[in-house]
Amino acid sequence: MTSARPTIAYLTGQYPKVSHTFIQREIEGLRALGWTIEACTVRRPNPKDVVGPAQEAEQARTFAILSAAKKPATLIGAQVAALRHDPKRWWKAVKLAWKTRPPGLKAGLWQAFYFLEAAVLASHLRAKGVVHLHNHFVDGSCTVAMLTSEMTGIPYSFTMHGPTEFFSAHWWHIGEKVARASFVAAISHFCRSQLMYFSPAAAWDHIRIVHCGVTPALYGPHQPTPAPVVTFVGRLDAVKGTPLLIEAFARVAGAHPQARLSVIGDGPERAACTARVAELGIGDRVTFHGYRNSDEVADMLRQSDMLVLPSFAEGVPVVLMEAMASEIPVIASQVAGVGELVENGVSGFTIPAGDLDTLAARIDTLLSDPDLRARMGAAGRAKVEADFDLAKEVAWLDRILGGSLAGGLPAGLRPEAGDRPHG
């Protein structure tokens, strides 16, 4: 049994989509604890990014600001409604939008769009009786959340992921957003430290660490196959370092003639990656699967022997948690908060970002030693169960939300041992 909790809204730039499945899981977890969640998105994602019946159903129940605002009358009506509801707050929101606009004419126009979107969202939240607004990511959708909060008096919070937002922290006025939020959920200690760097010291005490998590029971046990499989899961984009993985696999392919490379995901670099595979003469050893839904990814991880993620920048990738929960070792770049999840030499290997020699050597080591893979896989599973279990993270977020609405956040950066969902 769960007790009824009030209605809150979740917002992000595009929702739901395959690369943001962790947001959907978090929402589902909070709903299971009794929260009524009004899912909102600035825009609908590309249809190819909505994968599987669960995401299609979630999209059908998600409020899309830009879809609602197609008619000029809706945009004007929302502004009139906001002005009538609380003229002082509307003017304060105008001043805040001006204060936090990035430099340049084009950026100023985008800021005006965010203000218009905020009024549309404000009307929707008032109609739904929303008492709190939570946003994921700190870019444009967080600007909309901050302006909506100023316009309505509904408190807002946000989850900070990084790393790309930190590259343009002043552009997105991260410090202002942290200071005005009722709380901020950072996904790692590293992420929290960066928020502290860009924020006033007075705001540090309402930053908490809430890991993205997975449900371990949905993954594993590992099902070894006769031909060892090296797997990559992610968007085929320059930041993920997929070309580096292809080069590294080509280096070790001769020593491991049965090994295969499985690439799960899609993106702008796919054509270049497939062309390079052909140039290296390993086309019969590499399979590009495109996007797969979460159940398919879980099944493919069970039949993999390692996950490799040679990214140049990351937060704390959920796919690493999924692989570790599947009892397979991981190889990942030592960037941002990755070291808070992957212990080098225990649950896998962390490597210097961009280091092709070390990447190839680590793949070779794991392909050569099934017993090492098994030990690392067991250690990875234990780490996820202890520190990245979605149920524990949702229970912690439940406490933070409840405390925030009651006027006092729970003590501590992380939950105490043994926290579980409660009703």
Say whether 197 sits in a helix, a strand or coil: helix
Is 216-387 a domain of CATH 3.40.50.2000?
Answer: yes
Query: Residue 304 phi/psi, 5° resolution?
Result: -105, 165
CA distance 245 to 352: 13
Residues 123, 297 contacting (CB under 8 angstroms)? no
Alpha carbon dihedral 340, 346, 348, 351, in 10-degree steps, equals 70
Which residue ranges make up each domain of the chain?
7-213+390-406, 216-387
* Ramachandran quadrant class, 354 (left: phi over 0; alpha: psi -120 to 50; beta: rest): left
As a whole number of angstroms, the distance between CA 230 and CA 308 comes to 7
Measured between alpha carbons, how far is 258 from 303 in angstroms, rounded to an integer? 15
Tens of pLDDT along the chain (423 residues) come to: 456 799 999 999 999 998 899 999 999 999 999 999 999 999 999 999 998 899 999 999 999 999 999 989 999 999 999 999 999 999 999 999 999 999 999 999 999 999 999 999 999 999 999 999 999 999 999 999 999 999 999 999 999 998 889 999 999 999 999 999 999 999 999 999 999 999 999 999 999 999 999 999 999 999 988 899 999 999 999 999 999 999 999 999 999 999 999 999 999 999 999 999 999 999 999 999 999 988 999 999 999 999 999 999 999 999 999 999 999 999 999 999 999 999 999 999 999 999 999 999 999 999 999 999 999 999 999 999 999 999 999 999 999 999 999 999 999 999 875 444 443
| DSSP annotation of 338 | G
Q: Which two tokens stand for residue 365?
A: 């080591």
In angstroms, the CA 274 to CA 282 distance is: 10
On whether the 7-213+390-406 domain is CATH 3.40.50.2000, my answer is yes
Q: What's this model's pTM, rounded to 2 decimal places? A: 0.92
What's the sign of the alpha-carbon dihedral 281, 357, 326, 191?
Answer: negative
Q: DSSP H helical segments within 45-161, as ranges?
A: 53-60, 65-68, 72-85, 87-99, 105-128, 140-152
Same fold, 7-213+390-406 and 216-387: yes
Report the greatest alpha carbon distance in the chain.
73
156: β partners: 133
